[in-house]
Structure 1
Amino acid sequence: MAITKGSEILAHVGIGSDHHLPGENIKTFATKNVLGKKKSVIVENKMEIGCSHKDCQLNSAVIMPLTKKDEVIGVLKIYKIKENAISTVDIQLAEGLAKLFSTQIELAEIDYNAKLLSKAELKALQAQINPHFLFNALNTIVSMCRIDPETARKLLINLSNFLRESFKDQEDMVDIHDEIKHIEAYLEIEKARFGEKLNVIYNIKSGNFKIPHLILQPLVENAVKHGIYPKKGGGTIYLTVEENGENYSIEVSDNGIGFHESIEKPVNNGIGIENIDKRLKTIYGDEYGLKIESQQSLGTKVLLNIPKRSA
């Protein structure tokens, strides 16, 4: 599977990744054809693909244009190593993903241009959404199509929901229930990749209330990426939401590898952590920043409070 920006390869996973390298120009005639004619193509043999590398094992493909305002800005490609191997499921998957990405690209640009100055912190968080997560998710979905098309369909819906919530044009404050749904969509994709290595326990003890958008998902992603995955055998993410006097308390914790607090500065590490800390303090006051506790080999706990007067 591969994605390009114009004629530049952004990523290529699977057979052919030894010579279809990120940052290099595209090597296949079929891809150049899609960029030029602005139409999708299905190629059934090595000659039609037209890779300039003589030992390339790619023998069939479905290639879809990615568009922005009717302009082709890249392509999405699903390859197979056998000739005449492109199925109806492959075509439908490629079409769905291409439409999804094209829509998200346009929405992201509109949102960025319209609200760059007033929502700089939120945009910074959106920009930090991990491209490796996105590409790995797509690769998981493609692989799942072969063995479990129904699960692949559900994962594609989760990915669509995740991207829509991440980039959609909305106010800075959202319902906690919506933010939790956003987290659930992200974690379902990650659980499909890593199976029993990742477990999740939700402990929601409060009613609905407002929180800043994209406050919790980056905390969960950090717990997954830096706490659970490096741990042999995996572990568990815990999300707890409860009332605590004049505040709503939210805790994201894990039983992962942790870190030594005397060595590392947690607020400056990870996806969007410093950004989240600053946003909370700006909105609610300095006493409402993130509180991070960690013990090496035991796990990490991130706590934040939302005052009821503002929720």
Structure 2
Amino acid sequence: MQTTACVALSLLLFALGYACARTRRHALPEGDRKDKAAFTALHVAAMAAPALRAGLDRESARKAVRHLRTLLGTRAVAITSTDAALAWDGPCTDDVLTYARTTLAAGRAQVFAGEPYGAVVVPLTVDGTVVGTLAAFDEEVSATLVRTVTELGRWVSGQLELAALAASRRRALEAEMRALRAQISPHFVYNALTTIASFVRTNPKRARDLLLDFADFSRYALRRAHDFTTLADELTCVDRYLLLERARFGDKLRFSMQVAPEVLPVPVPFLCLQPLVENAIKHGMRGRRGGGEVRVVIRDAGPEAHITVEDDGTGMDPECARRMLDGEPAREGGGIGLANVDLRMRQIYGDGYGLVVETALGEGTKVRLRVPKTQISAL
């Protein structure tokens, strides 16, 4: 990625240097001209990049093409897909689509003579596949212009590659969310409905209330997920989940929660807390005749919210915990939820924000999670 950035910078400076050489009107000292060219290139590139990062379509091409023309300093610039002219800036010839098809067939830069303007057309690629063309029109088509347009086409292709990577990342996050929902459904739903059924005859009102709690939990957990929700909403989801689990385990399940009010509005990834509580209850209650305790502590830590979910259960081998975070379910089942949350946190915030699991056999398990207070978009 650093190599790509360096190449992009050099080619942008090259492109702007060509444009400045064509349009220079004031005799500035050499050092001042270079500084001005560097600043202008970076500024114009920054204006064009966001549109290109949205992918190649009419809207993104329309927003980017004016800035690309500024970089080149040519009479006109056009962007096409493989079958249509998407956008242009300046007096563009009607032959642009014909030029594009010729370039697409050749798979490399093409030069076209014409009146009043000649053209340089280069292919745009994403992951080795040609997706469109970039065309520049000018009175004189020099070797320098050909090199400049070619290099600029590589930069545009790089931005489109980043757009494709962002789309792929979004699809991966959606797949992880589907996997998490699939993990919730067979385990929790069966246990919850079995518990509710047990109250139907002995305590109909309790059964009705639990059924409503189950409906609230399901509505939240199975809805079309946005990238983020608030910590307050996540805690409401956990509360509904706990009402059902307490009905199942009775007094054997002891649960405490300590939350700093300041962190309630903090944006968090959708469905990131309930799987941790579910895991704690599962491990905290396993094989415990006297029941178990689960504690949730959420502290305000300046730019972050720090979340701890701890149980006093049997614990596990640290190597087993590591395998769970790697996505390998433990022999006794479970672990998918932890691995899912860990992966999503790392994808959204970076590797430094994955789950930290502290555990040992006979020592219980503590899972720690850090969430930045500033929302980061899931690309």
**TM-score of Structure 1 vs Structure 2, range by shorter chain:** 0.5 to 0.7
Among 228, 233, 253, which residue is 1:173 paired with?
228
Aligned partners of 2:171 and 2:373: how far apart in 1? 29
Amino acid of the structure 1 residue aligned with 2:239:
E
Q: 1:178 to 1:286 in 2, by over 3 A?
A: same
**Structure 1 stretches lacking a partner, 5+ long:** 1-114
1:118 Cα offset (Å): 6.2
Question: What does residue range 271-310 of structure 1 map to in structure 2 within 5 Å?
Answer: 271-310=336-375
Match of 2:296 in 1: 239
Higher relative helix content: 2
Which residue of the partner structure matches residue 267 of structure 1?
325
1:159 corresponds to = 214
For residue 42 of structure 1, what is the aligned residue in structure 2?
none
Contact 1:247 1:308 in 2 (8 A): yes
The partner residue of 1:209 within 255, 263, 266 is: 266
Distance 1:262 1:168 in 2: 35
- Report the 3-state secondary structure (helix = DSSP H, G, I; strand = E; otherwise coil) of the residue aligned with 2:374: helix
Call closer, same or farther: CA 1:262–1:135 in 2, change over 3 Å. closer
Q: State the distance in 2 between where 1:263 and 1:177 align.
A: 32
| TM-aligned CA distance change 1:290 to 1:152, over 3 Å | same
Q: Which moved more, 1:182-191 or 1:265-274?
A: 265-274
| Distance change (3 Å), C-alpha of 1:242 and 1:264 | closer
How far the C-alpha of 1:130 sits from its partner, in A, is: 4.0
How many angstroms does 1:264 deviate by? Answer: 4.6
Q: CA deviation digits over 1:239-270, x for unaligned, max 9?
A: 11111132110111111111121455242441
Corresponding residue number in structure 1 for 2:252: 197
Report the CA distance shift for 1:229/1:191 in structure 2 as closer, same or farther (over 3 A): farther
Q: What is the Cα deviation at residue 117 of structure 1? A: 6.3
Larger radius of gyration: 2
Contact 2:267 2:373 in 1 (8 A): no
Q: Corresponding residue for 1:249?
A: 306
Higher strand share: 1
Give per-residue Cα distances to partners, 1:197-223, cap 9 Å, x unaligned: 111101011422110011111111111
Confirm whether residue 225 of structure 1 aligns to residue 287 of structure 2: no
Whole-angstrom distance in 2 between the partners of 1:262 and 1:118? 26
Taking the aligned partners of 2:173 and 2:305, their CA distance within structure 1 comes to 26
> Aligned equivalents of 1:230 and 1:271: distance in 2?
21
Q: Counterpart amino acid of 1:216?
A: L
Aligned residue in 2 for 1:132:
187
CA distance in 2, matches of 1:134, 1:204: 27
Q: Work out whether residues 239 and 250 of structure 1, in 8 Å CA contact, stay in contact via their aligned partners in 2.
A: yes
- TM-score by structure 1 length? 0.60
Name the structure 2 match of 1:105: none
User: Paired residue for 1:61?
Assistant: none
Contact 2:238/2:277 (<8 A) preserved: yes
1:229: how far off? 2.9
Unaligned runs of 5+ in 2: 1-169, 330-334
Within the candidate set 192, 201, 209, 1:146 is matched to 201
C-alpha separation between the residues in 1 aligned to 2:282 and 2:372?
Answer: 29
Alignment of 1:18-33 (within 5 A): none
Q: Deviations over 1:165-194 (max 9, x none)?
A: 111123120111111111111111111111
Q: Relative to structure 1, is the Cα distance of residues 130 and 170 closer, same or farther in structure 2, using a 3 angstrom cutoff?
A: closer
**SS, match of residue 202 in structure 1:** strand
Q: Which amino acid aligns with 1:299?
A: G
**Percent of counterpart pairs with the same letter?**
40
Q: Residue 287 of structure 2 aligns to which amino acid in structure 1?
A: P
Aligned length: 197
1:167, 1:192 → 2: CA distance? 22
Partner of 1:87: none
RMSD: 1.9
Provide the C-alpha distance between the structure 2 equivalents of 1:262 and 1:277, rounded to a whole number of angstroms.
Answer: 16
TM-score (norm 2): 0.49
